[in-house]
Amino acid sequence: MNMMPNNSLSPQIMPIEENDFTRLFEIEQAAHLVPWSLGTLKNNQGERYLNLKIVHHQQIVGFAICQFVLDEATLFNIAIDPAFQGQHLGALLLQELLNQLKAKGIKTLWLEVREGNQRAIQLYQQNDFNEVDIRKNYYPTPDGKRENAVVMAAYLA
């Protein structure tokens, strides 16, 4: 019987590093309806961010970009490679982010999500986010129209 530990096979969550961007941008383009540019991805880094990647089977399969100011934070982006969606990797990443934010003393995590993105909305509702506002015609759509944003918040205290 093989008694080797299989830690490298279970998903691991780690801070994003400089040489991750090529892979992160691939996931960004595959996962989002209207993806960020590589420049936007790279600009949303720094000391006011808590940015995490999730690694599964030794490759990056998703990431989260979160900015904090005083005791509030905003989740700007979360994406899982479509080939790996539906395996609870998004939930795992979000829960780890929430734990790390709590440990930093953050009290509220805000986010905006497309009204039609029911998969993401369900993930957020399962993790104690509440809908607090609707921003009318906030997001562009690929066909040149606009889509409402749902503003959600989770209280971490």
Phi, psi torsion values for 68, nearest 5 degrees: -125, 145
**Distance of closest approach, residue 59 Cβ to ligand COA, in angstroms:** 15
Nearer of residues 105 and 141 to ligand COA, judged by Cβ = 141
Structure token digits, residue 41: 């991805």
Catalytic residue at 28? no
Site map for ligand COA, 115-134, x if CB under 6 A? Answer: --x-xx-xx--x--------
> Does the protein bind ligand COA through residue 98 (CB under 6 A)?
no
Q: Does 13 bind ligand COA (CB under 6 A)?
A: no
Q: Is 72 a catalytic residue?
A: no
**Separation between Cα atoms, residue 131 and residue 51, nearest integer Å:** 24
Tell me which of 43, 87, 99, 130 binds ligand COA, using CB under 6 A.
Answer: 87
Give contact residues for ligand COA (rule: CB under 6 A). Answer: 31-32, 78-80, 85-91, 113, 117, 119-120, 122-123, 126
